[in-house]
Amino acid sequence: MPPTPKTLIDYDSTMLHAHAILGFAAATNKKSKLNTIFSKHTIDKLPFPTSVPLYGPPPTKISNPTKETLALIEALQGADTHAYFHASNHAAHTYNFCKFHGVSDDRLDDMYYGSLLHDIGKIFFKELVALPRKLTPDEFSELHQHTVVSFIILAACKYPNFVAWSGLFHHLSYDQSHGYPQIDANLIKTIEFISKEMSFPIPAENYLNFSSITREDWDALNILVLTDALDASIDPHRAYKSSLLLSNVAADFETSSDYGWKTMFNPSLKTTFMKYLEWLLPYTNEKA
Ligand SMILES: [Fe+2]
Ligand SMILES: [Fe+2]
């Protein structure tokens, strides 16, 4: 059995988490090379993106991440380079969008880290993600669990509730009617089961108190849903899905019923989103 971390106040205890992740990987027969990843620690700052320009300098807290964040990002980088770039790009899109939308700085920190770490659970799904074909329905269902695993890791690491919820709900629509996971008794059971398998206890009940998520929280979470879908749409490296040109994203989000304005995104974000696309376009090779 891997050791169960008691606290996460220093770098050594972060490594205990790494070993617990390894235990989970073994328990679920997901062959992971995390042991080699965690044998060296080279990252000393966050990977500010090269492919997404930043709208202004990042605030101090974002420039000074905790050691847990650095270790998790390093794990993601080692497990799946593509997911690492997606995380970094997603965080940059969220940061930029929040600036355009006038989101307050006290929200911005949590939204930045929520974006950066939303897919951290994909460390355990890298074989599925890398399949060079369309996934079967069963494989899709399995991949959907990355949201639960992200949530458990972020809660176990004692990130703020909003950051953990970013992991859990970044594929759920703004009114919770579309996407996943649906919030019901099964969700709590699934979380508790996987949390036990991982030896990653949820450290406080308030992480699971989803009725305490305010309208403002859901609105902020939906910005992450939107910026995640944006980066996923234009990402040229996604194996199982072809990418869009940035100039085609607006039309795609208009018509899609899986993700888009019909189902997933809060219509009140649309004006800002269109302005953001306009700002971003000159940074691509596409003609305006
Ligand atoms: Fe995801
Ligand atoms: Fe994502």
Q: Residue 198 Cα, ligand 1 centroid: separation in angstroms?
A: 19
Any domain includes 4: no
Residue where the block lists tokens 């971003």: 280
The answer as to whether 186 is a domain residue is: yes
Label residue 47 by pLDDT band (50, 70, 90). low
The model's pLDDT over 108-157, given as tens digits with 9 standing for 90+, comes to 989 999 999 999 998 888 778 778 888 888 888 888 999 999 999 999 88
Q: State how many domains the chain has.
A: 1
Q: Does a structural domain hold residue 126?
A: yes
Task: Give the number of the ligand closest to the Cα of residue 122.
Answer: 1
CA–CA dist 97, 234 (Å, integer): 16
The reply to whether 64 falls in a domain is yes
The answer to whether position 5 is within a domain reads no
Residue 1 lies in a domain: no
Q: How confident is the model at residue 72 (pLDDT cuts 50, 70, 90)?
A: confident
Asked if residue 38 has pLDDT above 80, the reply is no
Q: What's the gap in Å between 121 CA and the centre of ligand 1?
A: 8
pLDDT value at residue 256 = 92
CATH assignment at residue 139: 1.10.3210
Residues in the 5 Å CB sphere of ion ligand 1? 119
Query: What is the number of other CB atoms lying within 10 angstroms of the CB of residue 197?
Result: 14
Can you give the pLDDT at residue 44? Answer: 61
pLDDT at 284: 84
Mind listing the pLDDT tens digit for each residue in 192-240? 988 887 778 899 999 999 999 999 999 999 999 999 999 999 987 765 5
Looking at residue 285, what is its pLDDT?
76
- The average confidence (pLDDT) of the chain is 81
User: What domain range includes position 18?
Assistant: 11-283
pLDDT for 15 beyond 80: no
Residue 2 lies in a domain: no
Rounded CA separation 97/64 (Å): 21
Rounded to whole angstroms, how far apart are CA atoms 2 and 19? 6
Q: Ligand 2 centroid vs 20 CA: distance in angstroms?
A: 23
Query: Which ligand neighbours the alpha carbon of 232 most closely?
Result: 2
Residue 129: per-residue pLDDT:
79
Residue 166 lies in a domain: yes
Give the distance (Å) from ligand 1 centre to CA of residue 146. Answer: 7
Alpha helices by DSSP H, listed for 44-160, are 60-63, 67-79, 81-101, 105-117, 126-130, 137-144, 146-156
